């Protein structure tokens, strides 16, 4: 793929802009609370777009090509579950978590767990889960954005990784959550713009959605696979899953796991703490749900239609290669259909998505190590020393995850694959359900987090490609019952803590 110099300039300009915007967060980042919670000044538009941009990494934009392999049921269910997930997050979690944080001095999700369950052990377990899984998850975020940068700028992958990470480190260290959130407003808007252009370009090329479906149904992919296979839920998918008739269960378990994760991801939940007031949450509920829904509708089903556009120009071998690595489907189609300049803006979207996810993840990791590990060990350290450590920590995590991205071992690849969903399982009971159920106890929370972590990772490593059931499902089937059963038979937190769970 060759790119015009204008495309290159646009992407480089975007990288420069995020540093400038990020500097605006410097004023409110002079305290621990200001650094991690933006001085509790986030408005509804900034909060809604920041959460959307944090959740959708580069993989979300490139995932539009997934239905080049999977049938359209994948895109439909992924879209549906995303809409359900974002609505549940904003309705069930956002306001209640904001009210709880406003009554206390919590800054991080492990802070909430310690306060809610009155347990330092539960806090340590939750911080350990965050430090392990989010550090590993960063490798997939790095890879998505760096692949695009390396291709468009014609530079080595290693250089692209540094170019992706460096501006994020700069503005996060300078401005904390305020800088990240302001940038996420801009980057989220860019992602929506790029999704709209990509959807329009592909639908125009195939003559609209209905004509595209008819064309897909009537074609033969590689002269041997009926296009109608992409219109059936039990149709196209990975060959091993097709051979065992497990495509529908694979689609349902993956789409459910990825989308419902919104209700329990620490990178999303901690941002609710930073809302200016409850009115921000209520207005953000509408904005946040709409922007996630629109993005999902525009992006997630495009890959199947790309067979109509790409296949006439590709050999069977090239089509097979693309079906094995569908991340390249959307960039290839954009290169064909979108003119220079506009193409640069569109291809900047997955880079923007990576940067927004990296920024908030760095903050969550920094909070976990400073607030939840160092501060309990060194209670006499002053705020200035802790703040300095908080601002240095993102550099440390950036270097570690960069190294893991470059030198992945088989076991790291397996853990990265399971990390995202496993994080969701670990915090679903202790945080999301714990906000409502007063019967939840520290032992139930600890049992849920430990079992979710162990089952999620082991299932992905040993059983996922045998059963073709995504590890979140069995992990949840173990961790949630343990959360309830252990809580029923262990002592409850104090009345004072439980009163904080009241909605008002």
What three-state secondary structure class fits 225? strand
What is the CA angle 369-53-167, rounded to 5?
Answer: 65
**0.85 surpassed by pTM:** yes
Is pLDDT at 20 greater than 80 in this prediction? Answer: yes
Q: What span, in angstroms and rounded, lies between the C-alpha atoms of 429 and 445?
A: 7
List the one residue out of 40, 379, 373 whose CA is nearest residue 176: 40
Q: What are 225's strand-pairing partners?
A: 221
Task: Give the side-chain half-sphere CA count within 13 A for 134.
Answer: 30
Contact 3, 16 (CB under 8 A): no
Question: Beta 225-226 vs 220-221: how paired, if at all?
Answer: antiparallel
pLDDT at 414: 52
| Rounded Cα gap, residues 56 and 292, in angstroms | 9
Domains of the chain: 5-406 (1.20.1730.10)
Say if CB 216 and CB 71 are below 8 A apart.
no
CA proximity to 188, closest of 79, 50, 287, 12: 50
**Distance separating alpha carbons of residues 437 and 420, to the nearest angstrom:** 25
| Tokens 């089952």, located at residue | 455
Question: In this structure, are residues 81 and 255 in contact, taking their beta carbons and an 8 Å threshold?
Answer: yes
Q: Is the pLDDT of residue 373 over 90?
A: no
Q: What is the mean pLDDT of residues 159-181?
A: 89
- For 461-499, the DSSP string reads HHTHHHH---THHHHHHHHHHHHHHHHHTSPPPPHHHHH
Q: Which of 292, 302, 298, 300 is nearest to 84 (CA)?
A: 292
Assign 503 a pLDDT band (cuts: 50, 70, 90). Answer: low
Q: How far is CA 98 from CA 160, 215, 261, 269, in A?
A: 38, 49, 19, 9
Instruction: Give the pLDDT band (50/70/90) at residue 434.
Output: very high
The three-state (H, E, C) secondary structure of 105-142, written as one string? CCCCHHHHHHHHHCCHHHHHHHHHHHHHHHHHHHHHHH
Between helix 109-117 and helix 342-369 the angle, nearest 10°, is 40
Tens-digit pLDDT profile for residues 123-133: 999 999 999 98
- Number of residues in the chain: 504
The pLDDT value given to residue 56: 86
- Per-residue model confidence (pLDDT) at position 417: 60
Instruction: State phi, psi for 268 to the nearest 5 degrees.
Output: -90, -45
Say which DSSP state 339 is in. Answer: P
User: In this structure, what are the phi and psi dihedrals at residue 221, rounded to the nearest 5 degrees?
Assistant: -85, 125
Q: What is the pLDDT of residues 441-468, one digit of tens each?
A: 999 999 999 999 999 989 988 888 888 8
Going by C-beta distance under 8 Å and a sequence separation of 6 or more, which residues neighbour residue 406?
A: 158, 161
- What percent of the chain shows pLDDT beyond 90? 50
Q: How confident is the model at residue 492 (pLDDT cuts 50, 70, 90)?
A: confident
pLDDT score for 427: 96
Distance between CA atoms of 475 and 420, rounded to whole angstroms?
A: 13
């Amino acid at each position: 793929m060759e790119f015009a110099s204008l495309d290159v300039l646009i992407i480089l300009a975007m990288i420069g802009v995020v540093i400038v915007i990020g500097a605006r967060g410097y004023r409110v980042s002079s305290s621990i609370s200001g650094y991690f919670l933006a001085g509790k000044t986030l408005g509804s538009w900034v909060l809604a777009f920041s959460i959307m941009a944090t959740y959708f990494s580069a993989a979300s934009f490139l995932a539009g090509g997934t239905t080049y392999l999977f049938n359209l049921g994948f895109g439909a269910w992924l879209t549906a579950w995303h809409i359900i997930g974002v609505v549940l997050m904003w309705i069930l979690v956002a306001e209640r978590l904001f009210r709880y944080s406003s009554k206390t001095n919590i800054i991080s999700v492990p802070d909430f767990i310690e306060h809610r369950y009155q347990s330092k052990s539960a806090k340590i377990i939750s911080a350990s889960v965050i430090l392990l899984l989010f550090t590993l998850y960063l490798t997939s975020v790095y890879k998505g954005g760096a692949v695009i940068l390396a291709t468009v700028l014609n530079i080595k992958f290693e250089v692209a990784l540094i170019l992706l990470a460096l501006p994020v480190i700069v503005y996060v260290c300078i401005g904390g959550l305020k800088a990240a959130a302001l940038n996420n407003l801009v980057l989220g808007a860019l992602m929506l713009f790029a999704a709209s252009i990509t959807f329009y370009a592909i639908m125009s090329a195939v003559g609209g959605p209905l004509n595209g479906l008819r064309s897909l149904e009537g074609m033969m992919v590689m002269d041997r696979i009926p296009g109608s296979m992409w219109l059936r839920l039990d149709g196209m998918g990975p060959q091993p899953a097709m051979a065992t008739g497990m495509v529908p269960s694979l689609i349902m378990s993956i789409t459910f796991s990825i989308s419902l994760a919104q209700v329990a991801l620490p990178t999303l939940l901690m941002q609710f703490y930073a809302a200016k007031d409850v009115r921000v949450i209520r207005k953000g509920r509408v904005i946040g749900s709409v922007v996630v829904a629109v993005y999902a509708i525009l992006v997630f089903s495009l890959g199947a239609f790309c067979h109509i556009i790409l296949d006439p120009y590709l050999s069977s071998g090239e089509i097979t290669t693309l079906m094995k690595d569908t991340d390249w489907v959307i960039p290839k189609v954009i290169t064909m259909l979108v003119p220079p300049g506009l193409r640069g803006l569109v291809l900047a979207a997955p880079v923007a998505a990576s940067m927004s996810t990296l920024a908030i993840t760095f903050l969550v990791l920094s909070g976990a190590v400073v607030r939840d590990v160092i501060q309990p060990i060194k209670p006499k350290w002053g705020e200035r020393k802790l703040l300095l450590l908080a601002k240095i920590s993102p550099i440390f995590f950036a270097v570690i995850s960069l190294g893991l991205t470059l030198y992945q071992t088989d076991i790291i690849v397996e853990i990265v694959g399971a990390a995202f969903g496993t994080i969701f399982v670990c915090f679903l009971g202790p945080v999301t359900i714990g906000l409502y159920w007063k019967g939840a106890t520290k032992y139930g929370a600890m049992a849920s987090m430990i079992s979710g972590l162990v089952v999620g990772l082991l299932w992905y490593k040993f059983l996922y490609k045998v059963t073709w059931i995504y590890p979140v499902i069995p992990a949840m089937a173990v961790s949630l019952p343990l959360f309830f059963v252990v809580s029923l038979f262990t002592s409850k937190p104090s009345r004072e803590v439980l009163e904080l769970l009241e909605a008002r």
